[in-house]
Structure 1
Amino acid sequence: MSDFWDQRYAEPGYKYGTAPNAFLIEQASRLKPGGCVLLPGDGEGRNSVWLALRGHNVLAIDSSGVGLEKARALAAGEGAQITTLQADLADWRAEPGSADAVVLTFVHLPSALRRVVHRALARALAPGGWLILEAFDRSQLGRSSGGPKDPDMLAPLEDIREDFDGLLREELAWAGEVELDEGPGHRGAARVVRYVGQRPN
């Protein structure tokens, strides 16, 4: 899978733009000032850099070394400090209770792996920590505005809610249509799921 993303990120420019995800911007006021934020699958770093510029301590995790190299270049150009880690989410686990927030922006995994990874990331949150997720819904299939073409990589909202059940207090769970403008990779009307949950104190 890292070869796929290395090839995608090796293309000129930034596949998903350099501006942060719109849903993250909406939800970022929940985050603890100066907190530790994990961003698995952040690719070329647009969300990591934006959060770092707002005073958060960010760790951008991705399987693609090419993507992380571009993330570091973006950070340098913006004067931001980010930490990067090249790792496969199938193998990597955060230390339980180590993060103040987890941001998952269009991170799609095979269904058998997704639940394991989601639950591990929920456990990575310290009490009071937030998890913010946006992903393509299964009804996105067939649209040209982005997302995997394999239905197993797309989860309906009820599956996402089940992933975090018993671990997070659900604050928001929504599925619907949005207009994406995130570089050439995500552009146009899209069907997405959005989830925000908090680790109980």
Structure 2
Amino acid sequence: MHKHTAADEDHAATWDARYRESDRLWSGEPNAALVREAADLPPGTALDLGSGEGGDAIWLARRGWRVTGVDISRVALERAAAHVRAAGVADRVELLRRDLGAEFPEGRFDLVSAHFLHAHGGLPREAVLRRAAEAVAPGGVLLVVGHSRNAHQHHLAEAHVVLPTAEEDLAVLELAEGEWEVLACEEYEHAYTGAEGESTRVDTVVKVRRRAA
């Protein structure tokens, strides 16, 4: 991990400005891949990386998880705190402001979820994902979800964002042989409702379980 720099503060300011552009940047609903991949998992402790306005954290908390939500944006975290209180799950959700490239949360978790944690603003994404794998407890699951390169690259090309395939994300994790079970490494097409109305999205999904000791 790199040391905290002025560029990191610029990254945080950029996200704060983006959130301030509207009263709610995201739908408030949980991400579709999280619902699909975590609905049958027994509740435990969860780490939500890039937790935004709290939609995923609230969904998990309502299902019995104790959630640590992490984001770089103070604005996002303030909104998430309000949404968590309104949902009645404040006792099950802890929200932390972290620049994941410089400071990763301590501890081990039964679920580590990283949705759309793309390398905007110089985020050392590969290192962060490897640290996310280290944070998975024995028997726990790491879920990494990203935008499909084929479906989204033309939207993000101007921002110089690279969209890895699921296979590339799996390789980046550098999982120790024999210690992990690959549960999913694929593209996932699903319905999506956004500001422009209903559409179809294609995301990459990597789901791996650390074998119990």
- After TM superposition, is the score higher than 0.5? yes
Gap runs ≥5 in structure 2 = 1-10
Per the alignment, residue 69 of structure 2 pairs with 60
Deviation at 1:52, TM superposition (A): 1.0
- Report the alpha carbon displacement of residue 153 of structure 1 after superposing the two structures with TM: 3.6
**Equivalent residue, structure 1, for 2:102:** 91
Counterpart position of 1:198: 209
Q: Is the 8 A contact 2:149 2:163 kept in 1?
A: yes
Q: Give, in angstroms, the shift of residue 31 of structure 1.
A: 2.8
1:33-112 to structure 2, matched below 5 A, reads 33=43, 35-81=44-90, 82-95=93-106, 98-109=108-119
Q: Give, as a single letter, the amino acid of the residue that structure 2 aligns with 1:31.
A: L
The match for 2:126 is 115
* Post-superposition CA distance 1:107-162 (Å, at most 9, x none): 1126882211111110101101011221112221224xxx6753544212221010
For 1:10, the equivalent position in structure 2 comes to 20
Give the TM-score, by structure 2 length: 0.82
Residue 158, structure 1, aligned to residue 170, structure 2: no
Aligned 8 A contact 2:32 2:190 in 1: no
Aligned residues: 195
- Give, in whole Å, the separation in 2 of the partners of 1:14 and 1:64: 14
Report the Cα distance in structure 1 between the residues aligned to 2:158 and 2:204, rounded to whole angstroms: 16
Residue identity over aligned pairs, in percent, reads 29
Compared with structure 1, are the counterparts of its residues 119 and 185 closer, same or farther at alpha carbon in structure 2 (3 Å cutoff)?
farther
Q: CA offset at residue 95 of structure 1?
A: 3.1
SS of the aligned residue for 1:178 comes to strand
SS in 1 for 2:39: helix
- The residue number in structure 2 matching 1:32 is 42
Displacement after TM superposition at 1:29 (Å): 3.1
- Helix, strand or coil: the match of 1:92? coil
**Is 1:125 equivalent to 2:106 in the alignment?**
no
Please say which structure displays the higher CA radius of gyration. 2
CA RMSD of aligned residues (A): 2.3
Moved more, 74-83 or 112-121: 112-121
Q: What are the ranges of 5 or more consecutive residues in structure 1 without an aligned counterpart? A: none
Stretch of structure 1 that moved more, 64-73 or 8-17 = 8-17
Q: Deviations over 1:162-198 (max 9, x none)?
A: 02242432110112543322x4399633332111111
Q: Which moved more, 1:152-161 or 1:56-65?
A: 152-161
SS for the counterpart of 2:132 is helix
Determine if contact 1:138/1:151 at 8 Å carries over to the other structure. no
Q: Which amino acid aligns with 1:23?
A: A
TM-score (norm 1): 0.86
Q: Distance in 1 between matches of 2:197 and 2:111?
A: 24
**Is contact 2:117-2:125 (8 Å) kept?**
no
Aligned AA (1:103): S
